[in-house]
Amino acid sequence: MKAIQYKDYGSSDVIELVEVPVPSIQNKNDVLIEVKAAGINPIDIKIRKGFMKAARPVEMPFIPGGEASGIVVAVGDGVSTFKVGDEVLALTKTSAYAAYVTADENSVLLKPQGLTFEEAASVFVNIGTAQSVLFTAGKLEKGQRVLIQGGAGAVGGAMVQMAKAAGAYVIATASGQGVELAKSFGADEVIDYKLQKVTSLVKDIDLVADNAGGETQQNLFPVLKPGGKLLSIVIPPSQALAEQYKVTAAFVASNITSETLKNGIELLKTGKLKPVVSRVFALKEAAAAQDFLTAGGVNGKVILTVNED
């Protein structure tokens, strides 16, 4: 089968299209999926650049890709939820940039009707991460004020929509065309972070969700009310600043399971959450697709299409 692999760590020049054997079902709870589309996540690029060697060591050559959509073509002996022919989306952790991939049935969901395969490959990480930050760790409640840093990004866009659906007052940061996109997600206020200063426009926030990291994270502390929370999915926040502003601050690693995806999938089915695909590339264009995401200003998810006739 065709697959994309990293032959080594490095720039996108290490990305190559190769022929490898179709993976076989190794565990009784695995399903084998003929991949139609694969989502590109920033972690795929961080792994390639060698930034994740301690936290997520991989062996080269390595087939990247944490999420996919497609059709079930085989099931392990212990699989009870899925059958051959089901259209699904899956959290695969690795190896989704390929014509076929295996996944544990607990990390697989039936594709909601009305979603294209491209859209379905875009939602698993986004809504699972948004759920982990806003509700599991953030305990966001109706009427609370939430600031979403990067509210037009892949995860941030899901956060804006899910926070709105929960009845929160949502302020998002974005730039360029992302400002209009974040507004279309229902944000009550959108700040263009390249033109305006968040600290002079925002205050009394219950929860800050940081999807951008970097030095700008420290500017998010003053907008919180005492007792508020700053949660980042990018870098661990400063505990000294948390103490100074009398808030709690933590890094959140997403916990993505079919259980934690329930809320997001329900919102998708009822049309309260829209998947946003920024751009679709063919599998063989994986290097260009990753470079496109790295360049920024993407607004939504970047997708690879696979097994197209």
Ligand X SMILES: NC(=O)c1ccc[n+]([C@@H]2O[C@H](COP(=O)([O-])OP(=O)(O)OC[C@H]3O[C@@H](n4cnc5c(N)ncnc54)[C@H](OP(=O)(O)O)[C@@H]3O)[C@@H](O)[C@H]2O)c1
CA 112 to chain centre: 18
Q: From its phi and psi, is residue 154 left (phi > 0), alpha (psi between -120 and 50) or beta? A: alpha
Of 12, 94, 216, 248, the residue at the interface with ligand X (CB under 6 A) is 216
**What dihedral do alpha carbons 217, 218, 224, 226 form, nearest 10°?**
140
| Bridge partners for 34 per DSSP | 71, 100
Nearer to ligand X, 102 or 131 (CB): 131
| Residue 234 binds to ligand X (criterion: CB under 6 A) | yes
Which residue, among 201, 116, 218, 207, has the nearest Cα to 163 in the 3D structure?
207
| Residue 211 binds to ligand X (criterion: CB under 6 A) | yes
| Residue 264 binds to ligand X (criterion: CB under 6 A) | no
Place of tokens 């997520």: 56
Site for ligand X in 37-56 (CB under 6 A): 41-43
Which residue, among 35, 41, 123, has the nearest Cα to 72 in the 3D structure?
35
Alpha carbons within 13 A on the beta-carbon side of 24: 1
What's the distance, Cα to Cα, between the start and end of the chain in Å? 14
219: tokens are 């500017």
Least separation in angstroms between CB 83 and ligand X: 30
Binding window for ligand X (CB under 6 A); candidates: 7-15, 77-85, 89-97, 212-220: 212-220
Of 55, 84, 240, 253, the residue at the interface with ligand X (CB under 6 A) is 253
| Residue 125 binds to ligand X (criterion: CB under 6 A) | yes
Least separation in angstroms between CB 193 and ligand X: 4
Place of tokens 């087939």: 63
Site for ligand X in 145-164 (CB under 6 A): 149-150, 152-156
Nearer to ligand X, 79 or 121 (CB): 121
Nearer to ligand X, 181 or 242 (CB): 181
Nearer to ligand X, 41 or 95 (CB): 41
Contact 276, 255 (CB under 8 A): no
Nearer to ligand X, 79 or 109 (CB): 109
Q: How far apart are CA 273 and CA 261, in angstroms?
A: 13
Binding window for ligand X (CB under 6 A); candidates: 50-58, 69-77, 104-112, 252-260: 252-260
Q: How far apart are CA 5 and CA 24, in angstroms?
A: 18
Least separation in angstroms between CB 194 and ligand X: 8
Instruction: Give the count of residues interacting with ligand X (CB under 6 A).
Output: 30
Question: Which residues would be at the binding site for ligand X (CB under 6 A)?
Answer: 41-43, 125, 129, 149-150, 152-156, 173-176, 178, 193, 211-212, 214, 216, 233-234, 252-254, 296-298
